[in-house]
Amino acid sequence: MSFLPTSQQDQTPTTQGVLRGGPLVAGIEVSVMLSESHTLNAQATKQALESGTQVSDHIIIDPWTVAIVFEVSNAGDGPMVARDVFETFKEMLEKRELFELITEHFVYDNMALISLTPLHAAPFKGRLQCTATLQRINQVKLQVVGREAKKLGGSAQKTGAAETNAGTQVAGPPTPKQSALKKQKNHLANM
């Protein structure tokens, strides 16, 4: 199992050390790979009718998630291996990079590390049991198509017009009707 930043996907797998089933996570050798758990979920929408019956008319597919459980130990690999692995995963989470995840059963694209839970359990000093959770990021590219306001017709021309600064507006003198209403209001207030 391994995963690579998308910027490195074009390079050959052998130069990156990507091996199916090998003890690599993010190109980093780990002591042992314990498990990988794949979660593929969907949700059916529910709408209540006047009779109280619920109707489902859509199925929403949730993003795929994969949880990888592995251990890394300083024993035999050097005195700071566990700390270095922890720091590397922390940087990956902070950078929010997208990866291609290669597992025993499937290759996922556009995966991001969304959770890392390193557990240090006594009595083993320098050993971490880590759970890394990755989620597929569904990206959408929007295409903006615009037309100049002067080429639009009718009311669409106002909608498509660029914003303008109208400046400050000052109230003009009251109309005769407004003056009469003000006099009536004052007269009622003085009663």
pLDDT tens digits for range 103-145: 888 888 888 889 988 888 777 777 888 898 999 988 777 776 6
The verdict on whether omega for the bond into residue 123 sits within 30 degrees of 0, i.e. cis, is yes
**Can you list the positions of beta strands (E) in the chain?**
2-5, 24-25, 28-29, 32-39, 42-44, 47-48, 54-55, 59-61, 65-73, 98-102, 107-119, 127-136
As a whole number of angstroms, the distance between CA 22 and CA 30 comes to 9
- Look at the domain 2-42+57-136 and name its fold: Elongation Factor Tu (Ef-tu); domain 3 (2.40.30)
Length of the chain: 191
Reported as a single tens digit per residue, the pLDDT across 58-87 is: 899 999 999 989 888 887 666 788 888 888
Task: Give the chain's radius of gyration (CA, Å).
Answer: 31
pLDDT of residue 13: 37
